[in-house]
Amino acid sequence: MRKKCPCGEMMTMKLRTVIYSGKVEIDNVPIFSCTSCKRSEVIPEVKPDLTGLIAKLGADPSKGTLLFNECNEWADLLVEAKVNKCQPNTVEVQALIEQRINMLLDMYLLAQTLNDEAWIVDLNKRLQQISGKSLYTYSLTR
Ligand SMILES: [Zn+2]
């Protein structure tokens, strides 16, 4: 969860508002930023979701604000870490990740019991976002 900047300093993880097309504000996008040279980049884990969101908005979006944490587990977790005043890049955040994965797995068991396909698909997506692994990998190894 840490990254070395090309300038040699360590980058820290932050949430930032990204403005797309000068019209749409996308809040709570997790980025790496360097305090030394001011370089910043979107963290690789959320890139596919962010590009997907932008693609959905299209070339001429209407003015508005979106909460990125509503469509990405990573962003949501970092918002939670911020609310709990956890320092980024610490074991506390790691613990939150573990907690979140367990919560999603518990919900998955419930969704399976209820045979709720749409929910299962959604949970699978969220789990993949945060762990890079599919739910099915988990259910096999659990
Ligand atoms: Zn730098």
Residues of the chain with CATH 3.10.20: 1-70
> pLDDT tens for residues 106-142?
888 888 888 999 999 999 888 888 877 655 554 444 3
Ligand 1 center to residue 58 CA distance, Å?
A: 32
Tell whether pTM > 0.75: no
> pLDDT tens for residues 28-83?
999 888 989 988 888 888 888 998 998 898 888 899 999 999 989 889 988 888 87
Ligand 1 center to residue 4 CA distance, Å?
A: 8
Both tokens assigned to 1: 């969860």
| C-beta separation of 10 from 48 below 8 A | no
Ligand 1 center to residue 14 CA distance, Å?
A: 15
| C-beta separation of 30 from 43 below 8 A | yes
Ligand 1 center to residue 11 CA distance, Å?
A: 7
pLDDT at position 70: 92
Ligand 1 center to residue 139 CA distance, Å?
A: 41
pLDDT at position 139: 46
Domain 1-70's class? alpha beta
